[in-house]
Structure 1
Amino acid sequence: MSGMIIRPATVSDVPAMHQFIRDLAEYEREPEAVVATAEDLARSLFGAQPALFAHVAEVDGQVVGMAVWFLTYSTWEGRHGIWLEDLYVDPDVRGQGIGGTLLRTLAAIAVERGYRRVEWSVLDWNEPAIRAYEAVGAVPMDGWHTRRLTGEALRRAATSARA
């Protein structure tokens, strides 16, 4: 897309990014799940020791997409990787290659820094995203399933660790 810029996020991008996170949650049918505030996001991205990173896509001076990511580590590879937490493109500009460009930007960062992987989750019903990911060469991790501890189960597990 002509006129598109991919760049590291800045503090001034946080309001748009926070709205994208809310929009993504709506799209993924969990709008009530977003409890993070714009201040939480700013602190995580730009605090004293940030462990969260982001790039945004800008067209004609307007932020239209984002990739929010953090580092992982593979003991098998002996190297870091990137976990793509959120990839979002404004629906008004989807289909113009912005998401793929954001994803390829993360791939370039990984290669440049010697990281071995870029990984993420995608909902099984999100066919447009799956097609876009396949277009850049991503493959599913057959046999692997994401697990999560949260809420009361997380508290019980933490309590039993101290016992």
Structure 2
Amino acid sequence: MPDPKQRDVFLRLRSATPITGYLALTIHIRPANTSDAALILRFITELAVYEKAEHEVVATVKDIEASLFSASSSAKSLICEMNGEPVGFCVYFFSYSTWLGKQGLYLEDLYVSPQSRGSGAGKQMLRHLARIACETGCGRFEWSVLDWNEPAIGFYESIGASAQSEWVRYRLAGDALTAFAEGAN
């Protein structure tokens, strides 16, 4: 098998036909379905481990099924497959920009397994989401990245995305959310 660090790897996005001397890869992005719930939870956990936040994952397969695949779900998920094997996922939802007067697409999570990074899988998922954003009339496509995740930051900048450093993100969660909702603060 050719060394992937050399230009001996030929990436084909639509055909699995091998070319002599090259490794042909097929990347396929598809909507996730209920039978993917355990896979999605596994990818979520792997992402949390990478982000040093594994202890924060409390979701169960049943939670994923209910939150992503119920009739009232506002979030959607995609599965990325390479040569028929799942290698990543993303979760997104539609937001709204008052300034633009249009909806936006917000990417909650994008994950590609370590052995498949650099294959084009992440870029294809982002491109797929960008197409969804354009096709549905979104005025923007946004996501967050941890400030120490230099590989992701470099990747996002390479596709033309720009950091929005003038905004600070806030979160109410768990007991703080409950306390505030009940009027404690």
TM-score clears 0.5: yes
1:97 aligns with 2:120: yes
- Residue of structure 2 equivalent to 1:14: 37
- Residue of structure 1 equivalent to 2:173: 150
1:48 aligns with 2:68: no
Give the alignment's Cα RMSD to 1 decimal. Answer: 1.4
SS of residue in 2 equivalent to 1:156:
helix
Mapped partners of 1:153, 1:49: distance in 2: 26
1:28 aligns with 2:51: yes
Deviation at 1:27, TM superposition (A): 0.6
- Residue of structure 2 equivalent to 1:68: 91
Mapped partners of 1:135, 1:38: distance in 2: 35
TM-score normalised per structure 2 = 0.83
- Residue of structure 1 equivalent to 2:129: 106
Structure of higher CA gyration radius? 2
TM-score normalised per structure 1 = 0.94
Q: Is the 8 A contact 1:13 1:63 kept in 2?
A: no
Q: Which whole-Å deviations, capped at 9, do the CAs of 1:70-120 have from their partners, x for residues lacking one?
A: 110111111111111100001111011111110111110000110111111
- Residue of structure 1 equivalent to 2:3: none
Higher relative contact order (CA closer than 8 Å, sequence separation 6+): 1
Deviation at 1:124, TM superposition (A): 0.5
User: Which of these residues, 56, 62, 66, is aligned with residue 39 of structure 1?
Assistant: 62
SS of residue in 1 equivalent to 2:179:
helix
SS of residue in 2 equivalent to 1:67:
strand
Q: Is the 8 A contact 1:25 1:34 kept in 2?
A: yes
- Residue of structure 1 equivalent to 2:110: 87
SS of residue in 1 equivalent to 2:132:
helix
In the comparison of the two structures, how many residue pairs are matched? 162
1:115 aligns with 2:118: no
Deviation at 1:160, TM superposition (A): 1.6
Range 81-90 or range 6-15, more displaced:
6-15
Q: Which runs of 5+ in 1 are unaligned?
A: none
Deviation at 1:152, TM superposition (A): 2.3
